[in-house]
């Protein structure tokens, strides 16, 4: 009997590449939806699928329960599992597969794109030129170099490490905090280990977030933490929107306490028109495209597919996040 598979990831569907050929070669019935889907949307679809090939869809306990007994696997396109109730999936014996090691370089590049754009006023200046403001006598904006500045990295995992490598190439000083600090990597790249997040916030000119979202990290950058930072710090967030308090960031941008905020993620995606960060000064928000490159999409999609293909074939080459394989 052919497997019935729900595919929700838009970058997978919209990007040409070898993953499309691999998907077409499978004897699966593919049902396509354009995620990320809410819990209500997932509940409407749940119950008739052997597998979810999912992105940041809300796969809650209720969705998992309604999907049983047919659902055999959840194959995540990506590495962040905060939208999946993994503990409940584990209790129900549903393997959660994922794709570590596929997007760290491209997200690090995006992080530096945001940093350079904010520091050098590239984005705002380009918009001004496009709007016809470059005329005789125009007072041009003045940016800042990043060489010699201190970047504080919160979360020195795969992406954080790639950011550190690029920061070193730009001549920046690097400090970092991670509960599972890699001493060998830090020694190789001259990274100072901080004892906690506050030490990073006290000494950094740039704060870059690369943490998983959980109960401890949610709202980790709030008004109180911003007050601890130096004036004119740039905050970068290519991890999860819920790591920061959006209202506090917006207020700090308006007051001039923060020098800039660059993010590829928001706490609500897509945002409402009145989201506090939309239109905030010295703020660049991109639409969760940090890992959306032709190269990264193919790596993620092929790994996501191979996880599912190998699972159904009973093969060992499966990356499982919850220990059921």
Look up 218 and say whether it is catalytic. Answer: no
Phi/psi for 54 (5° steps) reads -120, 160
For 51-67, the pLDDT digits (tens) are 999 999 999 999 999 99
pLDDT (0 to 100) of residue 5: 98
Angstrom distance (rounded) from CA 211 to CA 209: 6
pLDDT greater than 80 at residue 1 = no
Look up 288 and say whether it is catalytic. Answer: yes
DSSP 8-state assignment for residue 99: -
DSSP 8-state assignment for residue 221: B
Which domains are seen in the chain, by residue range? 3-102+293-313 (3.40.50.720), 104-285 (3.40.50.720)
For 285-295, the pLDDT digits (tens) are 999 999 999 99
Provide the 3-class DSSP secondary structure of residue 36.
coil
pLDDT (0 to 100) of residue 138: 93
Please report, for residues 1, 14, 15, 45, 194, the alpha-carbon distance to residue 33 in angstroms, rounded to integers and kept in the order given: 22, 12, 15, 9, 44
Q: What does the block give as tokens for 39?
A: 């819990």
pLDDT (0 to 100) of residue 325: 86
| Residue in 240, 299, 303, 306 annotated catalytic | 240
Q: What does the block give as tokens for 154?
A: 């919160």
- Residue 67 exposed, middle or buried by CB count within 10 Å (0-12, 13-18, 19+): buried
For 80-96, the pLDDT digits (tens) are 899 999 999 999 999 99
Q: What does the block give as tokens for 258?
A: 């923060």
Look up 193 and say whether it is catalytic. Answer: no
| Residue in 48, 228, 269, 315 annotated catalytic | 269
């Amino acid at each position: 009997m052919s497997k019935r598979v729900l595919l929700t990831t838009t970058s997978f569907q919209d990007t040409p590449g070898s993953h499309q050929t691999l998907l077409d070669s499978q004897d699966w019935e593919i049902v396509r939806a354009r995620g990320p889907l809410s819990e209500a949307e997932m509940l409407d679809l749940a119950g008739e699928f052997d597998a979810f090939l999912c992105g940041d869809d809300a796969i809650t306990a209720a969705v998992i329960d309604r999907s049983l007994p047919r659902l055999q696997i959840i194959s995540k396109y990506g590495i962040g599992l905060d939208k999946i109730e993994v503990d409940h999936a584990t209790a129900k014996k549903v393997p959660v597969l994922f794709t570590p090691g596929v997007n760290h370089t491209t997200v690090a590049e995006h992080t530096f794109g945001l940093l350079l754009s904010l520091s050098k006023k590239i984005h705002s200046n380009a918009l001004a030129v496009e709007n016809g403001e470059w005329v005789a006598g125009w007072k041009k904006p003045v940016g800042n170099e990043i060489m010699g500045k201190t970047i504080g990295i919160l979360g020195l995992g795969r992406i954080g490490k790639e950011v550190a490598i690029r920061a070193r190439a730009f001549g920046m000083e690097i400090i970092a905090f991670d509960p599972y600090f890699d001493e060998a990597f830090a020694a190789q790249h001259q990274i100072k280990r901080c004892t906690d997040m506050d030490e990073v916030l006290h000494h950094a000119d740039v704060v870059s977030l690369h943490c998983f979202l959980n109960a401890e990290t949610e709202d980790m950058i709030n008004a109180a933490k911003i007050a601890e930072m130096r004036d004119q710090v740039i905050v970068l967030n290519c991890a999860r929107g819920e790591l920061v308090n959006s209202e506090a960031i917006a207020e700090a941008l308006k007051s001039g306490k923060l020098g800039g905020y660059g993010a590829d993620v928001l706490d609500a995606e897509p945002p409402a028109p009145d989201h506090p960060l939309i239109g905030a000064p010295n703020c660049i928000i991109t639409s969760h495209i940090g890992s959306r490159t032709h190269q990264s999409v193919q790596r993620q999609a092929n790994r996501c597919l191979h996880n599912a293909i190998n699972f159904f074939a009973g093969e060992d080459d499966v990356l499982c996040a919850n220990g059921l394989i």
